[in-house]
Structure 1
Amino acid sequence: MDRLQLLPLELPSTSNINNTSIKTKLSFMQRLVLGFIILAILGLLYIPAYHSAQGTLLGIGETSSSIVPSGGSTMGIIVAQLSGWAYNKSRDLCAYIHPKNVTSILNPVSICSSSPNILIVICSSITNKNSRAAIRNTWANKDSLDTLYNSTVKIAFLLGLSDNETLNEEVVKENSEYNDIIQESFYDTYNNLTLKSVMMLKWVTANCNQVKYIMKTDDDMFVNVPNLVKTLQSRSPTTGTLLGSLICNAKPISDPKNKWYTPKYMYSGRTYPNYLSGTGYVMSIDVARKLYQAALATPLLHLEDVYITGLCAKKAEVRPINHNGFSYLPRKLEPCVLSEIITAHKVSISNMYAIWEKLNVPNLPCNYQIHTERRMAILNKRSGRNIGYYTSRKKNVNKCT
């Protein structure tokens, strides 16, 4: 029987053990680093996907909440952002108005070729074709105005753009018939009304330098042009005019559900400066130039009338003045009342025709006590605007002068 030969067992060297341990450690560290990289990539992919989903859920016209820095502190407050004007969106008007460029899509410059005394600019929505037709057939009838005032009173409609190309094409056709539509290159939404009014100032100062007065109004307003003309003819001098229905001590609304909600990041003051109701106001051409230049240096506020006749007027050192002929309140359809006013608000298309017919009755008998209605309008105008536009302290109401 052969004898078993016992061979010595060779143990791994110390160097081999160390090398294996290092390799194991390196492999573990590599896996750990790779894991962190994968997690980071997944995180980066998740964030935009989350915000995109959130934006889809919010839908058009709704607001989201965000943490807005408070002063210089790292602390923040959660606020509802205004649709279209998030806290981090630029409110520099120059970025939207492009003051050095012609931005008009429809540009009826012939309106001012006869150097009118008064240009009435009616802010209208693209879809409100019937309202524009009612205005053309009643108080802004071209033949009537040209005959009565020897072409010294002109009107124009101011529109923005729609995302519906069919509607935009219809506006082009409408303008080819009437040549009275100014269309500017911005989307026509409620929170873009300030852009609309600044575009008006830009267009007027560029194309109607010889006009004496510009009136801004809306397409749900009835304007008594004869009374407007009489009022402006009685003013001396013609410069420095900013006239309308004065609103004082107005406080910003902090309820995000309210149509006129104003977040703190857009306006942080306790009250707005005195301003004129955007339903209808008049300015002289020199004031239009001042307000336009002030707007180019004043951060945008979405409330058009507060911005133009309040913030910009204050910056330009122009004082808005109250006139009882202007009102943002609906008027009674009494012909003798309507014959004494300049503006009537919230006038439907059917009422537009009805008012026009009543005011054109020859030898209108006026037994109605006009002074009573006018006094009520004066008292009411300082107590609120369209229910909810602002709240004012009763003790300050009488200080509106």
Structure 2
Amino acid sequence: MRHIKKTFILLLTLAFLLSAVAYVFETTTFSQTWLNKIMNRIHYKVIKSTSADRTENDLLAPLSNQYIQPRGTTIHHYVAHPSNYHFILDEPDKCKQDPFLVLMVPVAPHQLEARNAIRSTWGTESSVQGKAVLTLFLVGLTGGAEAQHQLEEESRQHRDLLQSNFVDSYFNLTIKTMVIMDWLATRCPQAAYAMKIDSDMYINLENLMTLLLSPNTPRQNYITGHLMRNEVVVRNINSKWYVAEELYPEPKYPTYLLGMAYVFSSDLPKKLVEASKKVKPFNIEDAYVGACLKQLGVAPSSPPDSSQFKAYMGQYKREDFLRVITTILSSPQQLIDIWKDLKGPI
């Protein structure tokens, strides 16, 4: 009886040790699997886009092999080429009236206040110096069925929203920009010029139109704005602007236009989309466009007056805002207030 008891205890101990080893192995495997699931879960594709009463599970499903970059991690795979995405909300007939200039505004889905501020200010200007102007907003996925429903209601009301099925995040601004280029190339090649302009910007369309109508302004291979030269690639892993060497190995970026606002001739979007097939994507969208321009052999142009593309203006002065083309503002309300003052009596 004692021998059987000892044998039983020995077997029990052995079983415990084997279980412990298995647990360690499974925990390691599970941790990696869990991480991959979390990483995958932040990119989605849209399964249904027409039903008004769809559920969140209907709306969102994992899109495999795409990753967003948490700070301090390696990017496993990153897709920026617009052929990997499709439009959920679209306005394919907007350019049938042959606009001269198309303003494309990348904006987060939840930033309704910013969109409405633009709609009540420079977004209302449909004709400037006799030339047709069109303003459109581009967003990514909302992340929920209710938010998506609200966005669709907004789209039905204003008919100025474009939405593509990428996760809307800071890291994905390169995707967002290339989707803008794809829309321009496929839906609006007849426009003379287009501008990518952020949602927190003031724009003086009279001054911009004067620039574009100048006989010295090229109609092809033209892009201008606030030029960035000899910018060093940030390798600090804790920085918002960190780019891994595996994505962009050069120590400096080619000359590019600051992403707040740049205007370009309508032949460039198609060329940039083609170039993006050869240029490995990385997460600094304006520098990436610069890399694509370098691939094309197109050099960004300095504006005739570089002070007209101003990053920050400081304290508001009416005469300064009447002179610039673009500048960054602090809030949608500031845009509304400045616009009222500029359009009011002198």
Cα displacement string for residues 58-101 of structure 1 (whole angstroms, at most 9, x for unaligned residues): 9x99xxxxxxxxxxxxxxxxxxx93299645233534xx326x7
| 1:138 and 2:118 aligned | no
Distance in 2 (CA, whole Å) between partners of 1:88 and 1:360 is 48
Match of 1:263?
244
Partner AA of 1:222 in structure 2 = Y
Report if aligned partners of 2:189, 2:267 keep a CA contact under 8 Å in 1: no
SS of 1:278's equivalent? strand
Report if aligned partners of 2:110, 2:142 keep a CA contact under 8 Å in 1: no
Match of 1:165?
145
Distance in 1 (CA, whole Å) between partners of 2:19 and 2:148 is 49
Cα displacement string for residues 106-160 of structure 1 (whole angstroms, at most 9, x for unaligned residues): 111232110111000011111110110011101111xx424x4556111000100
Distance in 1 (CA, whole Å) between partners of 2:35 and 2:272 is 39
Give, in angstroms, the shift of residue 47 of structure 1.
2.0
Match of 2:56?
none
Please point out which of 221, 234, 258 is paired with 1:240: 221
| 1:288 and 2:288 aligned | no
| 1:360 and 2:343 aligned | yes
Please point out which of 201, 209, 213 is paired with 2:189: 209
Match of 2:78?
91
Report if aligned partners of 2:129, 2:209 keep a CA contact under 8 Å in 1: no
Give, in angstroms, the shift of residue 332 of structure 1.
3.6
Distance in 1 (CA, whole Å) between partners of 2:247 and 2:328 is 28
| 1:124 and 2:107 aligned | yes
Distance in 2 (CA, whole Å) between partners of 1:300 and 1:232 is 30
Cα displacement string for residues 251-294 of structure 1 (whole angstroms, at most 9, x for unaligned residues): 12222222112222222211111111000001111122211111
Report if aligned partners of 1:93, 1:298 keep a CA contact under 8 Å in 2: no
Report if aligned partners of 2:117, 2:332 keep a CA contact under 8 Å in 1: yes
Distance in 2 (CA, whole Å) between partners of 1:85 and 1:181 is 34
Give, in angstroms, the shift of residue 172 of structure 1.
0.5
Report if aligned partners of 2:99, 2:133 keep a CA contact under 8 Å in 1: yes
Q: Which moved more, 1:104-113 or 1:188-197?
A: 104-113
SS of 2:194's equivalent? strand
Distance in 2 (CA, whole Å) between partners of 1:243 and 1:44 is 56
Distance 1:172 1:56, change over 3 A: closer
Q: Which moved more, 1:154-163 or 1:230-239?
A: 230-239
Give, in angstroms, the shift of residue 52 of structure 1.
5.2
Distance 1:330 1:53, change over 3 A: farther
| 1:227 and 2:207 aligned | yes
Give, in angstroms, the shift of residue 36 of structure 1.
11
Please point out which of 326, 333, 338 is paired with 2:316: 333
| 1:322 and 2:302 aligned | yes
| 1:177 and 2:157 aligned | yes
Give, in angstroms, the shift of residue 330 of structure 1.
3.9
Q: CA RMSD of the aligned region, Å?
A: 2.9
Report if aligned partners of 2:80, 2:174 keep a CA contact under 8 Å in 1: no
Please point out which of 289, 298, 302 is paired with 2:283: 302
Report if aligned partners of 1:159, 1:188 keep a CA contact under 8 Å in 2: yes
Cα displacement string for residues 140-195 of structure 1 (whole angstroms, at most 9, x for unaligned residues): 11xx424x455611100010002122111111111101100110111100000000
Structure with greater Cα Rg = 1
Report if aligned partners of 1:119, 1:153 keep a CA contact under 8 Å in 2: yes
What number of residue pairs does the alignment pair up? 302
Distance 1:85 1:257, change over 3 A: closer
Unaligned runs of 5+ in 1: 1-33, 62-80, 365-401
SS of 2:267's equivalent? helix
Report if aligned partners of 1:194, 1:301 keep a CA contact under 8 Å in 2: yes
Distance 1:149 1:171, change over 3 A: farther
Match of 2:96?
113
Q: Which moved more, 1:282-291 or 1:250-259?
A: 250-259
Distance in 2 (CA, whole Å) between partners of 1:119 and 1:57 is 38
| 1:154 and 2:134 aligned | yes
Distance in 1 (CA, whole Å) between partners of 2:296 and 2:71 is 27
Distance 1:114 1:253, change over 3 A: same
Match of 1:342?
325
Distance 1:361 1:88, change over 3 A: closer
Distance in 2 (CA, whole Å) between partners of 1:53 and 1:286 is 45
Distance in 1 (CA, whole Å) between partners of 2:157 and 2:298 is 38
**What TM-score do you get using the length of structure 1 for normalisation?**
0.69
SS of 2:294's equivalent? helix
Distance in 2 (CA, whole Å) between partners of 1:237 and 1:57 is 47
